[in-house]
Amino acid sequence: MSTEARPLIIGSSPHIRVKQSVPDIMFHVALALLPVAAFAVWSFGLSALLLLLTTTAACVATEHTACLIARRSTTIRDWSVVVTGLILGLTLPPSTPLWMAVLGSIFGVSVTKSLFGGLGYNCFNPALVGRAFLQIAFPIPLTTWTPPDLPGRFSSLLPTTLTFPFLRADTAALADYIRTALASGGVDGWSGATPLSMWKFAEVPQFESLPRLFLGSIAGSTGETATWLIILCGLYLIARNMMNWRIPAGMLLGAFLLSGAFWLSDKTHYPSPMFMLFSGGLMFGALFMASDMVASPMTSAGVWIYGFFIGMVTVIIRIFGALPEGVMFAILLGNAVSPLITSATQPRTYGLVRQKRWIKQ
């Protein structure tokens, strides 16, 4: 009786669809970034809060304007641009002048995303492109760090934050401000370096202790310090199947193995693999930036190669490059090769003989 009422639907596969949609996933990524953002505000204060709000607002405004110019319906409601803005803010140093943050947001979203056709067509991670642009355009403000947990961080802004647009960030005033604030807290001096630059540029390499790296009481970009929180938030996304776990796994494995090989060859110069994994932006990059769905390869074998490649390039840049940190450029390189990886790792169609040439003409 009941079968009569139901029509027989004939169609080609897929028959079972996931209920997740792009706005769903992006919303949860933004949600997962919030604890990291909260920690950033807690350890770097008002400046970090203002920085995060600025990048997010600027990214959303850029995307909206681009949609208006292209006469399309606005795409800001799919949350992806909010994620971009949050990530950009979390990868900048806390003392970044706001006008630079706005410039980076505009550049990243418009050049990487809007010009190529919006979400799904961006061949690079927009936040990272914005960050890379700022890094090359303004190298000094983008490598000026602030110690965490400064006294008075919730009552006053860092002096460089509100730099007038297009004017130079006053790094001397920032150094004075930091010195005074630290003195009021009973600390005499601060080297002004992140754990990575202390290892790379000190005459005798210094290695920050692992618990401090893990707990996040270190200098660095706003969102990269609290490794434990980043891992927790990443695990949330992996548990909800909203992130491809193979990418961070491959990336961490690649970085671990290569830095382990260096460490075994010379333990006084090269940091231990655990230091490599927990310092700088590697954990944040692995969980929230390399795993960008659009800019990573589409096959399961491909994402392993992609992650492994990024991890190894990061270690190579950190050890041999001019900059102490290499996650950003490594991920951008990975984004650049990911179409090639996708086409090289196409699975064999069931029933067909494997073709000799791995890139079809």
Partner 1 sequence: MSMEKKGPSSWDVFFAGFWRDNPVFVMLLGTCPTLAVTNSVINCFAMGVSTLFVLVMSGILISMLRNFIPKQVRIASFIVVIATFVTIVDYLIQSISLDLYDSLGAFIQLIVVNCIILGRAEAFASRNGVMRSVLDAIGMGIGFTIALLCLGVVREVLGNGTLLMNTPYEISLFGPRFEPWSVMILPPGGFFVLGVELLFFNWWRKRKEARALAQAKA
Q: Which residues bind partner 1 (CB under 8 A)?
A: 111, 115, 133, 136-139, 141, 166-169
Q: Please, what is the minimum distance in Å from the beta carbon of residue 158 to partner 1?
A: 16
- Six-digit token string for 111: 């050049």
Q: Please, what is the minimum distance in Å from the beta carbon of residue 130 to partner 1?
A: 12
Task: Give the C-alpha separation, 27 to 83, whole Å.
Answer: 8
Nearer to partner 1, 23 or 117 (CB): 117
Residue among 39, 110, 40, 123 at smallest CA distance from 81: 110
- Six-digit token string for 273: 């693999």
Nearer to partner 1, 110 or 244 (CB): 110
Distant-in-sequence, close-in-space partners of 334: CB < 8 Å, separation ≥ 6 = 290, 296, 306, 307, 309, 310, 313
Nearer to partner 1, 166 or 350 (CB): 166
**How many Cβ atoms are within 10 Å of 210's Cβ, its own excluded?**
15
Residue among 307, 295, 305 at smallest CA distance from 339: 295
Nearer to partner 1, 44 or 133 (CB): 133
Task: Give the C-alpha separation, 90 to 60, whole Å.
Answer: 16
Give me the count of residues in the chain. 361
In the DSSP assignment, the letter for residue 110 is: I
Distant-in-sequence, close-in-space partners of 140: CB < 8 Å, separation ≥ 6 = 169, 171
Q: Please, what is the minimum distance in Å from the beta carbon of residue 329 to partner 1?
A: 12
**How many Cβ atoms are within 10 Å of 4's Cβ, its own excluded?**
6
Nearer to partner 1, 167 or 352 (CB): 167
Q: Please, what is the minimum distance in Å from the beta carbon of residue 164 to partner 1?
A: 8
Nearer to partner 1, 140 or 204 (CB): 140
Residue 307, CA atoms < 13 Å, CB-side half-sphere: 29
Q: Please, what is the minimum distance in Å from the beta carbon of residue 270 to partner 1?
A: 30
Nearer to partner 1, 139 or 185 (CB): 139
Q: Please, what is the minimum distance in Å from the beta carbon of residue 136 to partner 1?
A: 4
Task: Give the C-alpha separation, 177 to 160, whole Å.
Answer: 10
Q: Please, what is the minimum distance in Å from the beta carbon of residue 93 to partner 1?
A: 15
